[in-house]
Amino acid sequence: MHNTTAHLAQLDAQHFIHPFTNSGELAAKGTRIIDRAEGIYIYDTQGQELIDGMAGLWCVNVGYSRQELVDAAMSQMQQLPYYNSFFQCTTPPAIALSEILSEVAPKHINNVFYCNSGSEANDTVLRMARHYWACQGLASKQVIISRHNAYHGSTVAGASLGGMSAMHKQGGLPIPGIEHIDQPYWFGEGFDRDPQVFGKQIALQLEAKIIALGEDKVAAFIAEPIQGAGGVIIPPATYWPEIKRICQQYNILLVCDEVICGFGRTGEWFGSEYFDVEADLMPIAKGLSSGYMPIGGVLTADRVAEVLKTKGGEFNHGFTYSGHPVAAAVALANVNILRNEGIVDKVKAEVGPYFQQQIRKLGDHPLIGEARGVGLLGAFELMADKTAHEFFPDKGRVGTLCRDLAIKNGIVMRHVGSTMVLSPPLVISCGQIDELFARIKLTFDEVAEKVLN
């Protein structure tokens, strides 16, 4: 019988290889088993209640325990659990989802290609962008420019497009045809300069890279509007306008990876809208179904879709579960909840500003060098000496300590080195934000007690 926590943890250690995990260490420590969730709270098998400050992995936008999503899955399973969208077939939920995505996406985007995750969405981006240029007789436009410390997934193309050096070290990545420029991380890498000057300088690296490679070799630039897994890195205001100009001037596709920023996280439907950028391709996943079912996609601008549809011939790409009817039905119900309940608007007008106010207040804490955020994204930089702009020598150690104390205090926060990040469900209330920040403040006090002299 799989019924005691200790027994489950033992079986887990014996048989389950976890993602992004040192299995030896985990087996020695034992894993936390989450078996129930409601609203913004998750519960482990030992009965601890935690505020899920990360919305799972940046994805449970409408919160846990939404019966409408359960009902959507169940009725679709009863009606038609599976059929594909290959060979000139399709299914009603995939069609309905495509229609509603065209409605909530920016005006210039009215098509979507489906897959099962953000990683697959980015693999699709790579193939679609190159195919788009090849269809127009410009097959030499192959290179995709990305950024150091970007996260675009864990598949071969996703991890190559990403700029995580630890990922590149394993498995012979990145694959050829991908180049990386610097990230617009002012607090970590540009603190000696004015943020707006820094933002523009970093953007200009894109122009320099295109010129160095030759415009005829470059297919696209890919970036998260705000980097998530990299540590909630918000570009200075000068960054995106310059990127926009460069992509237009040199005729390369602009890909905004909306896997985290999409579906309301910034207070707009998409992060690119927050920065007033028109993307040609937008990989989506996570908040598309609020994580209730695995589903991803690539929102495709009219100018790209038009070429693919009229000059593309067959696009030799797709997945067994592209447009899976159950996943599509759940995503459809999820987008309806976001829209009908005005959740995105509420993030923009009410809970987002309140959340940001609480974040900024903690910027005064002796441990915190910078407190930043947009909408319901937030980050805190833990510093050894904030006045001297001195980071801790072992960033991971202090970040882990803070993460563990946060859990003891009843909250899930993720650490990226010594940056603590937050991305709670979008349905969090102002009262719950108070509860969350009381626990964060307590956690920072406890960390400071242990690590500051």
Provide the binding-site residues for ligand PXG, judged by CB under 6 A: 57, 117-119, 122, 151-153, 158, 224, 228-229, 257, 259-260, 285, 414
Nearer Cβ to ligand PXG (282/398): 282
Question: Shortest approach of ligand PXG to residue 400 CB, angstroms?
Answer: 13
Query: Which pair of structure tokens corresponds to residue 412?
Result: 């899930």
Residue 324: CB minimum distance to ligand PXG, A:
14
Q: Specify the residue, 384 or 440, whose C-beta has the smaller distance to ligand PXG.
A: 440
Nearer to ligand PXG, 97 or 282 (CB): 282
CA 117 to chain centre: 11
- In angstroms, give the least distance from the CB of 96 to ligand PXG: 22
- Please identify, using beta-carbon distances, which residue of 76 and 116 lies nearer to ligand PXG: 116
Give the nearer residue to ligand PXG in terms of CB position, either 123 or 242.
Answer: 123
Q: How far apart, in Å, do the first and last CA atoms of the chain sit?
A: 50
Distance between CA 82 and CA 85 in Å, rounded? 10
CA distance 54 to 190: 27
Do residues 42 and 50 touch, judged by C-beta distance below 8 A? yes
- Please report the DSSP string for 128-180 in residue order: HHHHHHHHTT-TT--EEEEETT----SSHHHHHHS--HHHHTTTT-SPTTEEE
264 closest CA partner among 329, 356, 325, 334: 334
Which CA distances in Å does 17 have to 27, 69, 118, 348, 388?
10, 29, 21, 39, 42
CA distances for 421 relative to 263, 289, 418, angstroms: 19, 22, 10
Q: How many CA atoms lie within 13 A of 370 on its CB side?
A: 21
Q: Which is nearer to ligand PXG, 228 or 235 (CB)?
A: 228
Least CB distance from residue 117 to ligand PXG, whole Å? 3
How far apart are CB 154 and ligand PXG at their closest, in Å? 6
Residue 285 or 338 having the CB closest to ligand PXG: 285
CB atoms within 10 A of CB 435: 15
Q: Which residue is nearest to ligand PXG (CB)?
A: 118
| Residue 218 vs 229, nearer CB to ligand PXG | 229
Phi, psi torsion values for 266, nearest 5 degrees: -95, 0
Smallest separation (angstroms) from ligand PXG to the CB of 286: 6
Residue 362 C-beta: closest distance to ligand PXG, Å: 21
Other beta carbons within 10 angstroms of residue 82's beta carbon come to: 12
Closest distance between ligand PXG and the C-beta of residue 225, in Å? 9
CB 239 within 8 A of CB 199: yes
CB of 136 to ligand PXG, least distance (A): 27
Q: Which two tokens stand for residue 138?
A: 């410009």
**Among residues 283 and 325, whose Cβ is nearest to ligand PXG?**
283
